[in-house]
Amino acid sequence: MARILIACEYSGIVRNAFAAVGHDAWSCDILPTDMPGQHYQCDVREILHDGWDLMIAHPPCTYLCASGLHWNKRRPERAALTEEALNFVRLLLDAPAPRIALENPIGCISSRIRRPSQTIQPHMFGHNASKATCLWLKELPLLTATEHVPPRVVNGRPRWANQTDSGQNRLSPSENRWKLRAETYTGIAQAMAAQWGPLCS
């Protein structure tokens, strides 16, 4: 049984996937957990040195992802927040855990810190959805796809169920849209637990 930290996770999805296969898995976020389970409600920096065998980190992408970086030139305060976010990513990547995976959408981590180890999609893990997710890995193998879900084809372009025909995300604006967009797909979480968990035991 390994000690697993899921940093910056309030959903409990990845934590529960590791717990389901017998690990001592904890999530940590400044928000309370959405699902019952072992959870630290605090700044993850307070527990980084607590002897974790594996850390999977999901730093907030608001000031890192490509879709929002164009605002930085028009709003100087956003540029400063991007620098803060990048420093937080560096801190997580340099954490003392022997194995680390950090995930984020396509954005400036690739150009400012280093290129990702791989980019995955939910449709590689049994979900009818498209959402490019980059993984930065330390002492972990690339995540292997488990179940490919084919797209529909619109004007020669692939589209999955979470996309309109033009390629936009179907999720309508709402108070909790950001939370729904940030959740890890269960198929990806289960693949992480099945493929990386045994390496830490």
Q: Specify the pTM.
A: 0.90
Angstrom distance (rounded) from CA 40 to CA 7: 9
- CB neighbourhood size of 32 (10 A): 8
Tally of domains in the chain: 1
Is-contact 146 125, C-beta < 8 A? yes
pLDDT at 179: 47
The set of residues, in sequence order, having a beta carbon less than 8 Å from that of 190 and lying 6+ positions away, is 17, 125, 146
Q: Is the dihedral of CA 79, 10, 51, 54 positive or negative?
A: negative
Q: How confident is the model at residue 79 (pLDDT cuts 50, 70, 90)?
A: confident
Helix, strand, coil % in the chain, rounded to nearest 5: 30, 20, 45
- CATH number where 151 lies: 3.40.50
Give every CB contact of residue 49 below 8 A, 6+ residues apart in sequence.
96
Grade residue 163 by pLDDT with cuts at 50, 70 and 90. Answer: confident
- Structural domain containing residue 91: 3-200
Among the listed ranges 70-74, 81-85, 159-163, which one has the minimum average pLDDT value?
A: 70-74
Residues 118/135, Cβ–Cβ less than 8 Å: yes
pLDDT one-digit tens code per residue, 39-53? 999 999 999 999 999
